[in-house]
């Protein structure tokens, strides 16, 4: 660490004499003098009501990356060390490694020191890019005898790994219609849900009453055929399973898997499929893929939404699971998603039979759409547009059609599997 520079001052502030600066340091440093015993107690963390807040990237910073922390206040930020001292502190030892008194240029006022129009705060950037040693740190904020601290943050090479795996594991927590044992789900464990009579394995199409997309589809059964639409991921706090949301998430996860390549490993997520020799991220996506396989009738026409009533714990709900009617938008979304899944499984060479199953289901939906061109059901007011069926939204039809066609071409190399000029000219198609 560089020695304190005594000839540098805060921007715009007259040069202070060395005595004043040293005295100020001793005053504001309070009990945190070098050599003082570390009690292990951390200062209280800043809140939105703290006079001066320091916000950090809680994911952390790589050793070689820029490290810009945000200093914010509802009042103009103090410009003198007599009023404010920021101390970079080792969170494990309590040792102060660096302070703003010695490095006043590290704090750069934002917007010329004027109030920031968007946040409504006075803001400055604290540049700690010099900090390259891996470890755990915080920034103490000292004003007079008051001391608070930022959230702790990490500097390290692999700091994004834990957060990335946590993001993937979120999908497991959102799995629908299954039990989640404590060994996989921790405090969010629960028993088998939505598997009773008329639930996920016996769902029926209901007549949509026009209610919002997070509410029950309706009260009147439109088609009494029981259908297994179990699996997939609940959308959020509501337990709907939307074709649009599922497929866009599913497809982006497949892209992530392609980009990860060999970096994706088995046993990374602590899920039921950990240890089966298949990368856990691919196992997780398959939970969605298998749901999409179920989300169609015998003709390949896909349903737009599954409604499951939310409950806590999930198994407490015993009410019927409801489907919206089949729609061309859902059908193309499904065709594209299954085609893409087939390609990724072919690339991995881990389950050729599953790859073929996905491709066959996709092509069936595609051929249905060739025979029954989009959109259906059509809007009574404008037959060129689809009628809403309570599904919420679908992924762009033309984009999905292009994705499906690209996957067919990738799989076969046959240009005749790509869209014909006749279908391409139809309304709503690419
Ligand atoms: Ca696995």
Task: Output 367-370 pairs: Cβ under 8 A, ≥24 positions apart.
Answer: 367/300, 368/299, 368/300, 368/301, 368/331, 369/328, 369/331, 369/332, 369/335, 370/423
Ligand 1 centroid from CA 270, angstroms: 9
Ligand 1 centroid from CA 328, angstroms: 34
Which class does domain 159-424 fall in? mainly alpha
Ligand 1 centroid from CA 231, angstroms: 18
Of the candidates 187, 129, 139, 148, the residue with the CA atom closest to the CA atom of residue 46: 148
Pull the structure tokens for residue 391: 């599904």
pLDDT at 27 exceeding the cut of 60: no
Ligand 1 centroid from CA 315, angstroms: 26
Ligand 1 centroid from CA 158, angstroms: 22
Sorted by sequence, the CB contacts under 8 Å of residue 247 that are 6+ apart come out as: 292, 333, 334, 336, 337, 395, 400
Ligand 1 centroid from CA 273, angstroms: 5
Ligand 1 centroid from CA 361, angstroms: 24
Ligand 1 centroid from CA 268, angstroms: 8
pTM of the predicted protein model: 0.78
Ligand 1 centroid from CA 272, angstroms: 8
Give the pLDDT confidence of 183-216 residue by residue, as tens digits.
999 999 999 999 999 999 999 999 999 999 999 9
Ligand 1 centroid from CA 395, angstroms: 29
Q: Where in the chain is the domain with CATH 2.60.40.10?
A: 18-155
Task: Output 145-148 pairs: Cβ under 8 A, ≥24 positions apart.
Answer: 145/30, 146/51, 147/30, 147/32, 147/43, 148/43, 148/44, 148/45, 148/46, 148/50
Ligand 1 centroid from CA 165, angstroms: 13
* Of residues 24 and 400, more confidently modeled: 400
Of the candidates 311, 166, 176, 326, the residue with the CA atom closest to the CA atom of residue 243: 326
Of the candidates 246, 390, 378, the residue with the CA atom closest to the CA atom of residue 323: 390
Ligand 1 centroid from CA 287, angstroms: 12
Q: CA-to-CA distance for 109 and 192, rounded, in angstroms?
A: 55
pLDDT number for residue 419: 52
pLDDT at 424 exceeding the cut of 50: no
Ligand 1 centroid from CA 169, angstroms: 13
Of the candidates 209, 208, 206, 214, the residue with the CA atom closest to the CA atom of residue 238: 214
Radius of gyration of the chain (CA): 29
Q: Where in the chain is the domain with CATH 1.50.10.10?
A: 159-424
pLDDT at 389 exceeding the cut of 70: yes
| Residue 29 pLDDT class (50, 70, 90 cuts) | very low
90-118: average pLDDT: 94
* Of residues 373 and 79, more confidently modeled: 373
391-397: average pLDDT: 92
Give the pLDDT confidence of 152-185 residue by residue, as tens digits.
999 999 999 988 999 999 999 999 999 999 999 9
Give the pLDDT confidence of 324-377 residue by residue, as tens digits.
999 999 999 999 999 999 999 999 999 999 999 999 999 999 999 999 999 999
Cis amide linkage into residue 377, ω under 30° from 0 = yes
Q: CA-to-CA distance for 134 and 191, rounded, in angstroms?
A: 42
Question: Are residues 380 and 387 in contact, defined by beta-carbon separation less than 8 angstroms?
Answer: yes
* DSSP per-residue codes, 283-313: HHHHHHHHHHHHSB-TTSPBBSEEE----SS
Topology at the third CATH level for domain 18-155? Immunoglobulin-like (2.60.40)
Arithmetic mean of pLDDT over the chain? 88
Of the candidates 364, 430, 380, 367, the residue with the CA atom closest to the CA atom of residue 401: 430
pLDDT at 37 exceeding the cut of 60: no
Give the pLDDT confidence of 282-294 residue by residue, as tens digits.
999 999 999 999 9
Ligand 1 centroid from CA 179, angstroms: 18
- Min mean pLDDT across 228-232, 236-240, 282-286, 397-401 is at 236-240
pLDDT number for residue 195: 98
Question: Are residues 368 and 326 in contact, defined by beta-carbon separation less than 8 angstroms?
Answer: no
Residue 7 CA to its chain's centroid (Å):
47
DSSP state of 17: P
Q: At residue 159, what are phi and psi to the nearest 5 degrees?
A: -70, -20
Q: Helix %, strand %, coil % for the chain, to 5? A: 35, 15, 50
67-80: average pLDDT: 90
pLDDT number for residue 418: 55
């Amino acid at each position: 660490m560089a020695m304190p520079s005594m000839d540098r001052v805060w921007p715009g502030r007259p040069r202070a004499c060395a005595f004043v600066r040293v005295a100020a340091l001793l005053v504001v440093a309070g009990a945190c003098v070098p050599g003082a015993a570390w009690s292990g107690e951390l200062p209280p963390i800043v809140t939105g009501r703290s006079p001066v807040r320091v916000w950090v990237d809680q994911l952390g910073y790589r050793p070689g990356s820029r490290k810009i922390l945000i200093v914010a206040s509802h009042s103009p930020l103090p410009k003198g060390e007599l009023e404010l001292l920021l101390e970079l502190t080792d969170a494990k030892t309590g040792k102060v490694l660096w302070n703003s008194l010695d490095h006043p240029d590290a704090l750069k006022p934002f917007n010329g020191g004027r109030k920031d129009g968007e946040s409504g705060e006075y803001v400055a950037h604290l540049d700690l890019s010099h900090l390259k040693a891996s470890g755990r740190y915080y920034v103490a904020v000292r004003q007079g005898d008051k001391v608070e601290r930022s959230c702790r943050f990490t500097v390290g090479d692999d700091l994004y790994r834990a957060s990335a795996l946590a993001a993937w594991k979120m999908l497991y927590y959102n799995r629908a219609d299954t039990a989640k044992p404590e060994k996989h789900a921790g405090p969010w464990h629960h028993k088998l849900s939505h598997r009773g009579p008329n639930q996920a394995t016996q769902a029926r199409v209901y007549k949509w009453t026009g209610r919002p997309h997070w509410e029950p589809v309706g009260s009147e059964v439109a088609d009494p055929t029981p259908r297994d639409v179990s699996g997939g991921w609940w959308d959020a706090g509501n337990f709907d399973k939307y074709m649009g949301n599922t497929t866009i998430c599913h497809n982006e996860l497949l892209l992530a898997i392609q980009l990860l390549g060999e970096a994706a490993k088995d046993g990374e997520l602590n899920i039921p499929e950990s240890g089966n020799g298949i990368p856990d991220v691919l196992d997780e996506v398959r939970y969605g893929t298998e749901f999409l396989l179920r989300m169609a009738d015998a003709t390949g026409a896909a349903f737009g939404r599954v409604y499951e009533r939310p409950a806590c714990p999930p198994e407490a709900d015993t009410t019927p699971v409801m489907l919206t009617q089949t729609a061309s938008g859902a059908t193309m979304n499904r065709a594209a998603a299954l085609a893409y899944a087939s390609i990724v499984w072919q690339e991995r060479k881990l389950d050729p039979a599953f790859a073929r199953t996905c491709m066959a289901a996709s092509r069936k939906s595609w051929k249905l759409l060739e025979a029954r061109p989009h959109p259906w059901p059509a809007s009574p007011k404008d037959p060129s547009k689809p009628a809403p069926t309570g599904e919420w939204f679908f992924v762009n039809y033309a984009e999905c059609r292009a994705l499906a066609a690209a996957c067919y071409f990738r799989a076969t190399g046959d240009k005749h599997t790509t869209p014909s000029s006749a279908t391409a000219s139809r309304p709503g198609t690419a």
